[in-house]
Homo-oligomer: A and B are copies of this chain.
Amino acid sequence: MSENHQKISKAIQYYKENYQNLHEEFLELLRIPSVSTSEGHKVDIERAADFLVNKLSGLGFDKVSKHPTPKHPIVYGDYIVDSEKPTVLIYGHYDVQPPDPLNEWQTPPFEPAKRGEYLFARGASDMKGQIWATISALEAIIKAGQPGLNIKLLFEGEEEIGSPSLDAFLESHKALLKSDFVLNPDAGMIAPHKPTIVYGLRGLAYFELRILGPKADLHSGIFGGVVANPANVLCKLIAGMHDKEGKVTLPGFYAQVRDLDEEEREELSRIGLNDDFYKEMTGVPALSGEMGYTPIERAGARPTLDVNGLYAGYIEKGAKTIIPAYATAKISSRLVPNQDPIAVKESMKAYLETNVPDTVTWELEYMSGAPAYINGEETPGLDLFVDALKETWHVEPLMKLEGGSIPVATSMKKRLGINSIITGFGLPGDQIHSPNERLHLPTHRKGVEVLIRFFA
C-alpha cells in the first residue's frame, strides 16, 4: 500500500514537472478541427486520430492502431500489466461539435486561448480535455512505475454524430476489448470541488421535420390568404407538441417513462442545483419546464422535447415578402429510462398524422436515437474510483442522473456486457456545444490527480 502511495506521489510529481510539455501537446490536439458532422473535415478527423496513435505508441502501448470504419476511424491501444489483474476499458471521442455560429466566439474555436483560469477552444471540455486528462495520468503513472490494472483505450471519431460505427466495432472486436468495466469521462462535475459520478443518462431521439407547401416561394401579396404558409403550419405543429403544463403531447410519449422513487429525488435534491444556479448559469430571466418537478429533476430525470434548429424563407438582412415554399425544424427529445427511441419516433409520427393539415405535405426524418442508460447493479472499480475522488477533493462524490445522452454506455452494456463508470472533469459552465467552449484548468489538473490515484 505504501509502495502504492510512493508510486502515486512520484506520478503526481512527474505530472507537475512535465505539465508544460503535456499542455503544449494538448493545444496541438485542440488546434485540429476534427468536426465529425461535416464532410469537409474528413482530413482533420484523420489527423486527430493519427495524433493519438503516435502519442499512445510513444507511451509504449501495444496493438496501437487506427481501425477504419465506414465513416471515421476508431483508435485503439492497450497496456497490459498482468492478465490476473482487472482490466478497465477507457472510452473517449476525439471528434467535436461544429463551432458555428463562428462570429460569437471571442477567439477562434481552433486557436486555444487562455483567459484567467480557463482555456477556450472547441473540444477543450467535450471531450479532448477529458481524453488528455486520461493520457496525462497514464503517462505519469507509467513513468512512475506501472499501472495497478490493465488499460485498454478506445477513442472514436463519431460521437457527435451518434456513433454510427461503434456498435459494429464492439461486436466484431469482443475479444480485443474484453474488460471488467468501462471508464467513461464524457460526463462532468456539477460544480468545482463537487466530484460527480453519473448513474443514469438520458437517451435521445433526433428528428428533422419538413413541411412542404407551394412548389416555389410565392409573393405574399398575390397569394397571401389563399395558400397555407408552411412556416406558420410548422409553428402551429411545434406549438402543439407541449401542453400548458409543459408536458409533451405526443401520443404515448410518457407511456414507458420510469418514475423517480423517493430515494432518487432525495439524492438529486442533495446536489442542490437550485433555480438561481440555473438562472445564473444560463442568463435567462426565469426558468421553465414541466410542472411538478425541480430543475435538477427536469434536467436529468424527465424527458424533454426541444427545437434545435428552425428554418424557412428569407433570413438575411432586410425584408422579402414571400410565402416560403417549405419550412424545416430539427427537433430532438431527451429520453429517460425506460423510453424506447423507436417508440418515440412512432408517437411523433402519430402526432403528425393527426395534426398536419391537408393544405401541406410533410416529411419526418429520424436522424438518430439512443435509449437512456441507468447503472443499476454494482460496477467493478466503482469503489476504487470513488476513493480516488475522495482522496483528491476530500468530499463525498455526488451520484446524479445526467441530462445529456451517452448512448455509448448503453452500447458497452449491450455489446460487451460491462457497466460504465460515467464521470469527467468538465463543468456546467463549460459551454460545450456552444460558442466559447472552455475548460477550467485547475479542475482539469485535479482530474488528472484523480486518474493517477485510480490507475495506481
Residues of A within 8 A of B (CB): 37-38, 97-98, 100-101, 104, 161-162, 202, 204, 206, 213-229, 231-232, 234-236, 238-242, 278, 281-290, 295, 298-299, 302, 304, 306-325, 327-330, 332, 334, 357-361, 367-368, 402-405, 428, 431-436
Contacts and interface: CB of A to CB of B under 8 A. Distances in A.
A224 B333 CA distance: 9
Nearest to A202: B221
Given A38-B317, A314-B98, A309 B330 contact: no
B229 A306 contact: yes
Nearest to A311: B315
Given A319-B367, A433-B322, A306 B217 contact: no
The 6 closest A-B CB pairs, nearest first, are A221-B404, A215-B283, A225-B298, A228-B288, A239-B239, A231-B307
A452 B329 CA distance: 52
Contact of A306 (B104, B220, B239, B405): B220
Given A206-B319, A284-B360, A434 B330 contact: no
Instruction: Give the number of times this chain occurs in the complex, counting copies.
Output: 2
A436 B325 CA distance: 13
B104 A216 contact: yes
Which one of A239, A278, A402, A431 has the greatest number of beta carbons of chain B within 10 Å? A239
Nearest to A332: B321
Contact of A226 (B202, B235, B278, B322): B278
A32 to B, nearest CB: 19
7 contacts: A37-B320, A215-B283, A218-B434, A219-B404, A223-B403, A286-B358, A309-B315
Given A216-B431, A238-B235, A324-B308, A228 B317 contact: no
B310 A320 contact: no
B38 A316 contact: yes
Nearest to A101: B217
Q: Which of A217, A222, A320, A404 counts the most chain B CB atoms within 10 A?
A: A222
A285 B219 contact: no
A368 to B, nearest CB: 6
Contact of A361 (B98, B285, B332, B435): B285
Nearest to A295: B226
Contact of A227 (B161, B216, B284): B284
Contact of A313 (B217, B308, B404): B308
